[in-house]
């Protein structure tokens, strides 16, 4: 009998317990013996649950129990979760997590500690919920250099945008529904301002390029400024609006990385990704484009990935998985100035100003003085300079890259 523990009994934590209960037989077949959840750590009172007797409030109970060899960290945040993860690893216990904030900010350090103590730190659930993406990148695609990673990495914002595009639901109502469904973060600001997607593109870039991409230095824009007018304009241009996390490798080994809403042509496979679903396109230099698709958030989908890592850790306890990236000292993140994109611009002002300032590819007839412009591909710095000039003579109401 293998004994494990779960730290945190929120949406994902309770899902992890449920998956262990629901699939006990299958899990025992997979690892060759039954797996028992010995403890659940949470400060709140869950004594009325059928497994209420398993709850502990003191972390050291888990830390000091040699029977517990694998621990799920599903608390979130970088405070107690960081301290407890570190101490579990130092105590010789593998840790499996869905905590993308912790992996993105401290992953390099925690992976090093895991290596020093001969245990695993695994985080399949930190990107794409139930979608297998970390392991495929580490194993199936290991022979590739990654040219580009581009994905819909946040279920909450994709759910909100889908509701706005198809059902005319307001932003606020759609967000509330995403919270009820258990997709959103505790503080949904992280979803709607793009921080959650930013942590995820950083983790994927860490893996792809081998050095830390710090979420604090990666350009990040969310969906709060998108209006139903932009949604309708995008439709007229044969596009939909999606929040993308993207990283693009340059010849010198540096990479652009950022999160921003984009107009995507409807024929693109990413355009068809709706509701809470995520999709991640990985362009390997040997495979070409490979796409991963599935439920990017939600209790059981995310728990499935945490439990799978726990089973993998049990099976690989004497032969640990080698996962590692640098501490960021290679400074691989390249400023966006030279990244070339076509742009959608919604501008209130005069036609001649647009035509003299922007390299126009198409221009709509004005509606109440507002023009919809598509530009040809220009470097980001050129677009930024043009926006400044346009704002001096009118108002740039919206500007988004077109992919």
**Closer CB to ligand HSE, 156 or 162, in the complex:** 156
Indicate the residue among 154 and 313 with the shorter CB distance to ligand HSE.
Answer: 154
Burial class (CB within 10 angstroms; exposed 0-12, middle 13-18, buried 19+) of 379: middle
Task: Please choose, from the candidates 282, 307, 294, the residue with its C-alpha nearest in 3D space to the C-alpha of residue 98.
Answer: 307
Q: Which two tokens stand for residue 219?
A: 């350009």
Please select the residue that binds ligand HSE; options are 222, 294, 296, 349, rule is CB under 6 A. Answer: 296
Contact partners, residue 251, CB within 8 Å, separation at least 6: none
Residue 310 interacts with ligand HSE (CB under 6 A): yes or no: no
Q: Look up 200 and say whether it is catalytic.
A: yes
| Contact (CB, 8 A) for 344 and 263 | yes
CB of 165 to ligand HSE, least distance (A): 17
Residues 150-189 that bind ligand HSE (CB under 6 A): 154-156, 183-185
The encoded tokens of residue 52 equal 């209420």
Burial bucket for residue 353 (CB in 10 Å: 0-12, 13-18, 19+): middle
Give 30: exposed, middle or buried? Use CB within 10 Å, 0-12, 13-18, 19+: middle
284 binds ligand HSE (CB under 6 A): no
Ranges of H-type helices in 9-70: 11-22, 24-31, 59-63
Q: Does 196 bind ligand HSE (CB under 6 A)?
A: yes
CB atoms within 10 A of CB 64: 10
CB of 298 to ligand HSE, least distance (A): 8
Among 8, 129, 284, 394, binds ligand HSE (CB under 6 A): 129
Least distance between ligand HSE and beta carbon 342 (Å): 27
* Binder among 191, 206, 211, 230 for ligand HSE (CB under 6 A): 191
Q: Cβ of residue 301: shortest distance to ligand HSE, in angstroms?
A: 9
Between 9 and 249, name the residue whose CB sits nearer to ligand HSE.
9
Whichever of 154 and 162 has its CB closer to ligand HSE, that residue is 154
Q: How far is the CB of 297 from ligand HSE (least distance, A)?
A: 4
Q: Which is nearer to ligand HSE, 107 or 155 (CB)?
A: 155
- The angle subtended at Cα 341 by Cα 269 and Cα 249, nearest 5°, is 75
Sign for the pseudo-dihedral over CA of 112, 217, 141, 96: positive
Per the residue annotation, which of 200, 212, 242, 299 is the catalytic one? 200
CA 222 remoteness from chain centre:
13
State how far the Cα of 104 lies from the Cα of 118, in Å rounded to an integer.
Answer: 21
| 328, two tokens | 């960021």
Q: Which is nearer to ligand HSE, 15 or 284 (CB)?
A: 15
Residue 124 found at the interface with ligand HSE (CB under 6 A) = no
Residues that contact ligand HSE, how many (by CB under 6 A)? 11
Question: Could you list the active site residues?
Answer: 200
What are the residues binding ligand HSE (CB under 6 A)?
A: 129, 154-156, 183-185, 191, 196, 296-297
């Amino acid at each position: 009998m293998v004994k494990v523990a779960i730290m945190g009994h929120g949406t994902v934590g309770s899902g992890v317990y449920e998956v262990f209960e629901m699939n006990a037989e299958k899990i025992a077949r997979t690892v060759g013996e039954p797996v028992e959840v010995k403890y659940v750590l949470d400060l709140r009172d869950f004594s009325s649950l059928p497994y209420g007797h398993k709850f502990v409030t003191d972390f050291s109970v888990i830390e000091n129990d040699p029977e517990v060899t694998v621990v799920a960290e599903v608390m979130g945040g970088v405070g107690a979760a960081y301290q407890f993860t570190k101490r579990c690893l130092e105590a010789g216990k593998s840790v499996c997590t869905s905590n993308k904030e912790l992996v993105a900010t401290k992953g390099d350090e925690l992976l090093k500690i895991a290596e020093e103590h001969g245990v695993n730190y695994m985080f399949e659930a930190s990107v794409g919920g139930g979608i297998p993406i970390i392991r495929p990148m580490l194993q199936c695609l290991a022979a590739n250099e990654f040219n580009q990673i581009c994905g819909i990495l946040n279920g909450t914002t994709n759910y909100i945008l889908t509701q706005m595009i198809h059902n005319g639901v307001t932003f606020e109502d759609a967000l509330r529904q995403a919270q009820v469904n258990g997709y959103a973060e505790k503080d949904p600001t992280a979803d709607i301002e793009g921080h959650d997607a930013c942590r995820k593109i950083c983790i994927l870039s860490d893996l792809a390029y081998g050095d830390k991409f710090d979420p604090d230095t990666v350009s990040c824009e969310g969906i709060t400024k998108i209006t139903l007018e932009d949604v309708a304009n995008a439709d007229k241009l044969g596009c939909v609006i999606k929040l993308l996390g993207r990283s693009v490798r340059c010849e010198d080994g540096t990479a652009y990385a950022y999160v921003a809403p984009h107009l995507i042509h409807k024929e693109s496979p990413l355009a068809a990704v709706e509701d809470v679903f995520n999709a991640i396109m990985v362009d390997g230099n040997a495979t070409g484009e490979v796409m991963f698709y599935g439920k990017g958030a939600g209790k059981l989908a995310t728990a499935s990935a945490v439990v799978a890592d726990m089973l993998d850790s049990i099976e690989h306890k004497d032969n640990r998985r080698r996962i590692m990236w640098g501490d960021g000292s290679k400074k691989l993140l390249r400023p966006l100035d030279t990244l070339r994109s076509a742009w959608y611009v919604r501008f209130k002002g005069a036609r001649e100003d647009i035509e003299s300032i922007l390299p126009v590819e198409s221009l709509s007839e004005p509606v109440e003085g507002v023009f919809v412009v598509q530009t040809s591909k220009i470097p980001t710095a050129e677009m930024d300079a043009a926006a400044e000039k346009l704002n001096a003579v009118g108002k740039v109401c919206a500007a988004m890259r077109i992919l």
